[in-house]
Amino acid sequence: MSLFFEDVQIGARYTTSSHEITVAGIADFCRLTLDHHPLHTDAAYAKQAGFPGIIAHGLYGLSLMEGLKTELKLYEESSIASLGWNDVRFLHPIVAGDSVHVEMEFTAKRESSSRPAGIITEAVRLLRSDGKLLINSEHISLIRKAD
């Protein structure tokens, strides 16, 4: 399925599949971003800081949110560009062993003033399997109109 600007319905909601956060995945993000802070690499350090174990980077969670959304294939043929993320809030730590998923909802849309396309706004949330909200954000995208 690929949604074009005309297909986007304000209030439509989507939920992704679940993904398990692993120590190896956090380590991969450390290597990729060069952020090897001990909160992400040293369980004893993280526990001393009040966490149950190593935690994922907030930006790992945000990146994962985009990846999980991509698996929905909503914009396979219509995506032009991400215009940014607004009001990102890291509300609770993401811990190795957590199972997470994304819930998103279309909250606004408007015609682009610079090209024949549309700008859409999504409320995007990362939740743990028990329903705990981990990250809350807003994403803005530029997508094609149907031919």
Q: Which fold has domain 5-20+57-144?
A: Thiol Ester Dehydrase; Chain A (3.10.129)
| Distance, CA of 72 to CA of 12 (rounded, Å) | 14
Regions of the chain short of the pLDDT cut 70: none
- CA-based nearest residue to 142, from 73, 79, 67, 63: 79
Q: Which residues of 35-56 are buried (b: 16+ CB within 10 A; e: fewer)?
A: eeeebbeebeebeeeeeeebbb
Domain boundaries, the chain: 5-20+57-144
Q: At what angle do helices 58-71 and 23-33 cross, to 10 degrees?
A: 110
> Exposed/middle/buried for 4, CB within 10 Å: 0-12, 13-18, 19+?
middle
pLDDT score for 1? 72
pLDDT score for 139? 98
By the 8 A CB rule, do 79 and 66 touch?
no
pLDDT score for 114? 87
Give pLDDT tens digits for 54-63. 999 999 999 9
Determine how β-strand 99-111 pairs with β-strand 117-128.
Answer: antiparallel
